[in-house]
């Protein structure tokens, strides 16, 4: 009886919820929007500012770098959340 309880407990700890085929697809989609959205929004804003202020291409380049930084930060938060959930 004790052996069955120990086995069930260890199986429950080793199973990672959300990492089946559907859960993995959701994680990929979640990561994709976190990477693409800040870069696209910042790039669009930089292009608009460059056209209106006549600073072509400098604000676009800076905004792309800022967008990549925001994307990296958002993905890092996602990974930290996932690692915390799996402990």
Of the two residues 5 and 73, the one the predictor is more confident about is: 73
Is 8 a residue whose pLDDT tops 60?
Answer: no
Instruction: Read off the DSSP letter of residue 18.
Output: T
Is 3 a residue whose pLDDT tops 80?
Answer: no
Average pLDDT over residues 40-61: 97
Give pTM, 2 decimals: 0.73
Query: What pLDDT does residue 21 have?
Result: 80
Full DSSP string of 27-58 = HHHHHHHHHHHHHHHHHHHHHHHHHHHT-TTH
Is 10 a residue whose pLDDT tops 70?
Answer: no
pLDDT digits (tens, 9 = 90+) for 30-42: 999 999 999 999 9
Cα 44 from Cα 52, distance rounded (Å)? 13
């Amino acid at each position: 009886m004790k052996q069955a309880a120990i086995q069930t407990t260890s199986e429950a700890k080793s199973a990672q919820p959300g990492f089946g085929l559907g859960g993995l697809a959701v994680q990929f989609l979640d990561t994709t929007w976190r990477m693409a959205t800040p870069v696209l929004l910042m790039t669009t804003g930089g292009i608009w500012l460059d056209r209106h202020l006549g600073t072509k291409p400098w604000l676009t380049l800076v905004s792309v770098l800022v967008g990549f930084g925001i994307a990296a930060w958002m993905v890092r938060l996602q990974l930290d959340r996932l690692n915390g959930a799996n402990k």
